[in-house]
Amino acid sequence: MVIRQRMRALQCKKAIAILNGASLNSRKDVMHKLAAIQMASGPNVEANLYEAERLIGRAAEAGAELVVLPENFAIMGMSETDKVKIRERPGEGRIQDHLSAQARRYGIWIVGGTVPLECSDPERSSAACVLFNDRGEQVARYDKIHLFDVHLVDIQERYNESETIASGAEVVVADTPFGRLGLAVCYDLRFPELFRAMLDLGAEIVALPAAFTAITGKAHWECLVRARAIENLIYLVAAAQGGYHVNGRETFGDSMIVDPWGTVLDRLRHGSGVVVAAMDRGRLEFTRRNFPCLEHRRLIEYRRSSQRVI
């Protein structure tokens, strides 16, 4: 009995070592470098665009092929209505043109954080996460679905995004050279059903621009980012605002890139900068094949059992 238990323990250790990348010689590696940019944006759009350009350049120099900017990278205004004042028409405007130009300049794909775009309500804007390909063409757009209407009692901070942002309604996953890329924004991270919906659309990577508060970030940021990566067996590129802002707000930072096993490949806890890590498609496929929890989903059975009357 003791020998059998030891053998089982050894087999478990070997399996974990393989999933952690200790023995992956049986497949061909396909590597892509991903980058997350961390900023502490202010109310001056031109200054923010200059900083974004500088950091995009650093990411490109490090070999990044996909660069993700944080939420509200182009403006963190003195009031929430400042975003509405500078909102752009879809497909045109200073912010979108800048993103397009940087993508063309460096021949990279860019997830443009969130850009305030016009919507049907003149008092609000859409928090649009726009994806540009390496030719500077906008190939996808996701409008933030879950809006941060929260009162943080401990520090007496109140957020009402729905007052100035129109909620989106569509789940977006796009084809890229790196794999199927899902788009989500900040507060969306707390809603695992959105990530399952992206997974059902074939997501292999998710880009998450964010601006978590210092309080909620300290409590929940890392565990949520890693959980979404683990439970969906995806690469997650989380690009955050991080630092003190002119409007008095403090954001948490800790931008990170996480692999499907939940390993933090690189991170930046504080200050502006760039996080870069390699996405290994072979590892993604290997992990999904050898740890097939996605195939073990029984959602239909769960629903049926919950409807039974006992």
Catalytic residue among 51, 65, 71, 88: 71
Residue with tokens 């063409």: 137
Tens digit of each residue's pLDDT (9 = 90 or more) over 127-151: 999 999 999 999 999 999 999 999 8
Tens digit of each residue's pLDDT (9 = 90 or more) over 212-237: 999 999 999 999 999 999 999 999 99
244 or 305, higher pLDDT: 244
d(C-alpha 95, C-alpha 88), whole Å: 8
Q: Which two tokens stand for residue 6?
A: 């030891």
Catalytic residue among 51, 65, 119, 186: 186
Question: Region 253-275: what's the mean pLDDT?
Answer: 98
d(C-alpha 258, C-alpha 69), whole Å: 16
What pLDDT was estimated at residue 23?
39
7 or 82, higher pLDDT: 82
Q: 28-306: which CATH architecture?
A: 4-Layer Sandwich (3.60)
Q: Which two tokens stand for residue 11?
A: 């087999």
28 has catalytic annotation:
no
Instruction: Give the CA distances from residue 236 to residues 81, 136, 266, in Å, rounded to whole numbers and listed in that order.
Output: 30, 23, 11
Catalytic residue among 51, 83, 144, 161: 144
Give the domain ranges of the chain.
28-306
Question: Region 271-283: what's the mean pLDDT?
Answer: 97
144 has catalytic annotation:
yes
Question: Looking at the predicted structure, is the pLDDT value of residue 300 above 80?
Answer: no
Are 109 and 133 a contacting pair, CB within 8 Å? yes
Tens digit of each residue's pLDDT (9 = 90 or more) over 162-178: 999 999 999 999 999 99
- Rg of the chain on CA atoms, in Å: 20
Q: Which residues of 53-84 are buried (b: 16+ CB within 10 A; e: fewer)?
A: eebbebbbeeebbbbbbbbbbbbbbeeeebbb
- Where residue 136 falls (left for φ over 0; alpha for ψ -120 to 50; beta otherwise) is left
118 has catalytic annotation:
no
What pLDDT was estimated at residue 157?
76
| Residue whose C-alpha is closest to residue 74's, from 125, 122, 28 | 125
Question: Region 192-198: what's the mean pLDDT?
Answer: 98
d(C-alpha 289, C-alpha 59), whole Å: 31
Q: Which percentage of the chain shows pLDDT scores above 70? A: 86
